[in-house]
Amino acid sequence: MIKSKHLLGIKELTSEEIYHILDTAAGFRDVLHRDIKKVPPLRGKTVVSLFFEPSTRTKTSFALAAKRLSADFVNFSVSTSSVVKGETIKDTALTIQALGADFVVIRHPSAGVPHFLSNILDMSVINAGDGANEHPTQALLDLFTIQTHKKNIKDLTVVIIGDIAHSRVAKSNIYALTKLGARVRLICPPTLMPAEVGKLGVEVFHSIDDGIKKADVIMTLRLQLERQSKGFLPSLEEYFKLYGLTSERLKLAKSSAIVMHPGPMNRGVEIESAVADGPQSVILEQVTNGLAVRMAVLYLLAGVRK
Amino acid sequence: MNILIKNGHVIDPSQNIDGHNDLLIKGRKILGLYPEGKGPAADKTIDASGCIVIPGLVDMHTHLREPGFEYKETIKTGTLAAVKGGYTTVCCMPNTKPVNDTISVTEFILEKSVKEGSCTVYPIGAITRGQKSEELTELEALLKAGCIAFSDDGHPVTNSLIMRRALEYSKIFNVPIISHCEDLKLSEGGVMNEGFVSTIVGLRGIPKAAEEVMVARDLSLCELTGGRLHIAHVSTEGSVKLIRDAKARGINVTAETCPHYFTLTDESIISYDTNLKVNPPIRTASDVAAIKEGLKDGTIDVIATDHAPHHVDDKNKEFDSAAFGISGLETAFSLGLQLVDQGVLDMKQLITKMAVTPSHIMGIGKGMLTADSDADIAIINTEKEYRVDSSTFLSKGKNSPFNKWTLKGTVEITISMGKVFEWN
């Protein structure tokens, strides 16, 4: 059973809750393969997305997930709304609530905004990414994808390569994977490693060749191109040379290893095209699984609200 | 009018008094101390049974926000908050709008504080015009108008050469240069301490080094120039070590910390409570321990509040864009008392750091109960517990991370320049 009507982060979930979401998602995946991809449980409910950062895939995924559960989905457009006129986030959120929404799916560049809103709002708050804090549905869909290929998550060796310090995807995955008993290795230059991250029960590597050895799962992260100008890296070329996931390096992992990426990819920066498009890549599966997982989240939170 | 304060436990570290005495004041001045029960009859008698009677506290680091930010605090409300907290003197920082870098602003603050203030106010002038780290202000003119020290607080003096000149030039007047130590490049975008907790909550960290590199720079410049340096709001273990070492080498430096730096750790920020957002940020348990050690061994001379009141709208928002600062005047002494309970300081040392030494550093002749000194007195029940309710603060700033805490030490009566404020 899920306890909270909000999904703020993986930090706040127990391993039982995580498994419950994954099991529920498995049911919805079957729906997605039917001819008529729509079920009625959220009929009459309204889901509003409130994105303060550009996003296409996450927003579209939530929109389709809501619609396949028969909910109404509305996007509250930040760039053309009162927000640009100086409205506070609190007032914006209360306005959406007053319009009768049941769920708000929020993405914001500042960590903790979903938590802040969950203290103010009656409607369910779903975190679709807050600063460098968490992106829980991404981690859930990653787990779901791993489960499809590896059955048991416990005792797997999962490596995460890239800009860990600025990555909410990495953070949510670290919490999720360690809660479920996987061994997590982080690989990135010291400039992009979060402070004292080892205390989260992960292993830290600065060399990709060392870190990738015998891995079961390899997650690469998108490198924000402005990291170079901020002094984190000398150049994107050097980053690719040191940390890019190439076919050669992939051979150091287990032959059964799968390759994941939360998208959007920078080909030739963090991942070689041959790997992204290769047989071990499950990147497009992740996208499909995202729908099932987000349907499960909406469905289960609606259950808590009853 | 004469007032006799009797039955109280008088503690005045400036004259090494610690015992039951009667204290007589007349008008704005203290007439003298008498053995218990021997004080003469007076027009009014205050029974201070069960309380300590101490010199009114002196805060050498207060933001009164006026002129320019009256919606956050005014001289009227800030000084009321001060007397409520047992303070009878506050030294106000110059980061107002306009900045206190000209005599007209200094004069405005002083006139306003005489007219509307509840305690004595001493302005601190800016080191550089507009706090821009480019040109020195006219120190002589500002001192003559009533400033007593200089600081660009809120901003560091980023230009090392200008900091050198300030420390040199101020020697003419023998006044302290108060440094807000922060390397703005290292702290850029940061909203809390950099460490494990910032990793967990995903907020941008401010490394301890952002403070320490500037402490090290200013200590070097102080050694070079022989000027008078005072380090504001020390928050890290490394800063304590640097200052301790500098003092051992005879460098002319003093330092302050604030109650939140010896009371709170960054773990509390897991709640994203913006009342915990302050600059420098709340650090870790090892820093808290080092700050206490520094207070105990004398490395840190002063406990100041860095009272930084904000309007609720500046705090009730996302952590990244919320304002930095804690409304501190009304809880500072109670938090200081915890150090006494923990055995870090004894009561005399606490009062020394909250009244006597700040007065010495600022050269203002406050913080004492000697005959003929100003009638600035706090009468405090150090055993009485209360629950902090920031909504009842007299400060306009209700931004306290100590809201709902149970603390000890109620200020029963404050006497400021002879004016009696009875709180209960």
User: Helices B160-169 and B208-225 meet at what angle, rounded to 10?
Assistant: 40
Asked whether the predicted pLDDT for residue A87 surpasses 90, the reply is no
Domain A15-134+290-305 belongs to what architecture?
3-Layer(aba) Sandwich (3.40)
Total-model pTM: 0.95
Closest residue in A to B185 (Cα) is A230
Q: Considering only CB atoms, which chain A residues are within 8 Å of B323? A: none
Residue bearing tokens 């060796």: A157
Residue B317: its chain A contacts at CB < 8 A?
Answer: 88-90, 116
Residues B326 and B182 in one domain: yes
Looking at the complex, report in whole angstroms how far the Cα of residue A109 sits from the nearest Cα belonging to chain B. Answer: 9
Say yes or no: B357 and B314 in one domain.
yes
The CATH number assigned to the domain holding B183 equals: 3.20.20.140
Break chain A into its structural domains and give their ranges. 15-134+290-305, 136-286
Whether B369 is in a domain gets the answer: no
- Pick the residue of B192, B200, B313 with the most A CBs within 10 A to test the interface with A by mutation: B200
Let me know how many helices (H) and strands (E) chain A has, helices first: 11, 9
| CATH classification at residue B28 | 2.30.40.10
Single-letter amino acid, residue A301 = L
The pLDDT score that the predictor gives to residue A115 is 97
Q: pLDDT tens across A246-269, in order?
A: 999 999 999 999 999 999 999 999
Q: Does B190 share its domain with B122?
A: yes
Nearest to A130 by CA among A117, A114, A118: A114
- Which candidate in B306, B314, B374, B376 is catalytic? B306
Instruction: Report the CATH number of the A136-286 domain.
Output: 3.40.50.1370
pLDDT tier for residue A55 given thresholds of 50, 70 and 90: confident
| Cβ-nearest to A130 among B198, B202, B204 | B202
Query: Within 10 A of A219 (CB to CB), how many other CB atoms are there?
Result: 26
Q: Is A296 helix (H, G, I), strand (E, B) or coil?
A: helix
Lowest-confidence range among A70-74, A92-96, B387-391? A92-96
Q: Are residues B197 and B93 in the same domain?
A: yes
Give the chain B residue whose CA is nearest to the CA of A192.
B199
What was the pLDDT predicted at A224?
82
pLDDT at A83 (0 to 100): 64
- Decide which of B334, B362, B390 is a domain's last residue: B362
Give pLDDT tens digits for B332-377.
999 999 999 999 999 999 999 999 999 999 999 999 999 999 999 9
Q: What is the pLDDT of residue B349?
A: 98
CA distance B190 to B184: 10
Sort out which chain A residues have CB atoms less than 8 A from B202's CB and list them: 111-112, 130-134, 168, 171
Residue A84 pLDDT class (50, 70, 90 cuts)? low
Instruction: Say whether pLDDT at A143 is over 90.
Output: yes
Provide residues of B within 8 Å CB-CB of chain A. Answer: 194-196, 198-205, 271-272, 313, 316-321
Same domain for B178 and B311, yes or no, is yes
- Per CB-CB distance under 8 Å, the chain A contacts of B209 are none
Residues B322 and B229 in one domain: yes
Using the structure block, give the residue that is written with the tokens 């690719």: A240
Three-state secondary-structure class, residue B3: strand
| Res B424: pLDDT | 83
Cβ separation A111–B200 shorter than 8 A = no
Average pLDDT over residues B292-314: 98
Q: Is residue B35 part of a domain?
A: yes
pLDDT tens track for B201-257: 999 999 999 999 999 999 999 999 999 999 999 999 999 999 999 999 999 999 999
Task: Show which of B321, B341, B362 is a domain's final residue.
Answer: B362
pLDDT at A228 over 90: no
- State residue A225's pLDDT score: 79
What backbone phi and psi angles, to 5 degrees, belong to B357? -65, -45
Q: Which whole number is the average pLDDT over A191-201?
A: 96
Confidence of residue A305 (pLDDT cuts 50, 70, 90): confident
Closest-CA residue in chain A for B270? A112
Angle among Cα B356, B358, B363 to the nearest 5 degrees reads: 95
Please judge whether A194 and B313 are an interchain contact, meaning their C-beta atoms are less than 8 angstroms apart.
Answer: no
**Closest Cβ–Cβ partner in A90, A132, A195 for B317:** A90
B403: in domain: yes
B91 and B219 within one domain:
yes
**B272:A116 CB<8 A:** yes
The residues near B286 (Cβ < 8 Å, ≥ 6 apart) are B237
pLDDT confidence of residue A124: 97
Instruction: State the residue range of the domain holding B138.
Output: 56-362
Q: Categorize the per-residue pLDDT at A142 as very low, low, confident or very high, splitting at 50, 70 and 90.
A: very high
Q: Which residues contact B70 (CB under 8 A, 6 or more apart)?
A: none
Look at B320 and A132 and tell me if their CB atoms are within 8 Å: no
Same domain, B23 and B101: no
| Tokens describing residue B222 | 């102080």
pLDDT band at B293 (very low <50, low <70, confident <90, very high): very high
Question: Looking at the structure, do residues B7 and B68 belong to the same domain, yes or no?
Answer: no
pLDDT exceeds cutoff 70 at A80: no
Question: Within this chain, do residues B112 and B182 fall inside the same structural domain, yes or no?
Answer: yes
Pair (B40, B167) in one structural domain = no
Please give the pLDDT value at position B189. Answer: 95
pLDDT at A306 over 90: no
Q: Is B306 a catalytic residue?
A: yes
Instruction: Tally the domains of chain B.
Output: 2
Nearest CA-CA partner of A168 in A87, A213, A109: A109
> Does residue A270 surpass a pLDDT of 80?
yes
In a domain, B234, yes or no: yes
SS3 A82: helix
B79 and B92 housed in the same domain: yes
- The answer to whether the A15-134+290-305 and A136-286 domains have the same CATH topology is yes
Q: How far apart are CA B220 and CA B226, in angstroms?
A: 10
Give B-chain residues touching A112 at CB under 8 angstroms.
201-203, 272, 318-319
Residue A206 has pLDDT above 90, yes or no: yes
